[in-house]
Amino acid sequence: MSVREVVAIGDPGLRQRARELSSDEISSPEFQELVDDLIETKRATHGAGIAANQVGEALRVAIVEVEEDNPRYPYKPPVPLTVIINPTIEPLAEGTVEINEGCLSVPDLRGSLERHLAIRVRYVDRHGEEHNEVKRGLTAGTFQHEVDHLDGKLIIDRTTPEGRRKAMAVLRPRVVIR
């Protein structure tokens, strides 16, 4: 396992839809090594998740995991290590919630954006097993964030106008006059 470099906004790979994987590809040693590297990279960077295109691989796989002691996301409920391959998301309700998110590929910027309160996520795990699960609240937001990456979208594409104003206010340098 190794920690890979996380690519930042401006890298064209972040704007492309990642391609789906076949069962033969999923079972290959090379792919399993990529999954291990994604897990190691997510943990080293204290992310809540990471998608393959964030490390330069245009493959439809992401990791979601929120540890209790995550310094970047102390407010998020724990999520066990989950490898999602070829995921699809279906909103389960009309309701949305505004969530303030950050992103490993958009360093030093957070933005408020609307996320579905409840979703159904279907995916295959690293062992080729199919899953059909319901996620709610901040956990649903985390899964939506990672699938957005696999679809070539970043948080700046979904940030509300008010969320952008808040984010820009945070980024403005503070001048102290004495």
- Token output for 98: 């505004």
Instruction: Determine the Cα–Cα distance for residues 100 and 121; give it in Å rounded to an integer.
Output: 21
Structure tokens of 51?
């998608």
Contact 45, 37 (CB under 8 A): no
Catalytic residue among 33, 40, 133, 146: 146
d(CA 98, CA 16): 25
Count other C-beta atoms under 10 Å from residue 93's C-beta.
10
Placement of tokens 């490390």 in the chain: 55
Beta bridge partners of 82: 64
Q: Quick check: is 146 catalytic?
A: yes
Q: Which residues are marked as active site?
A: 146
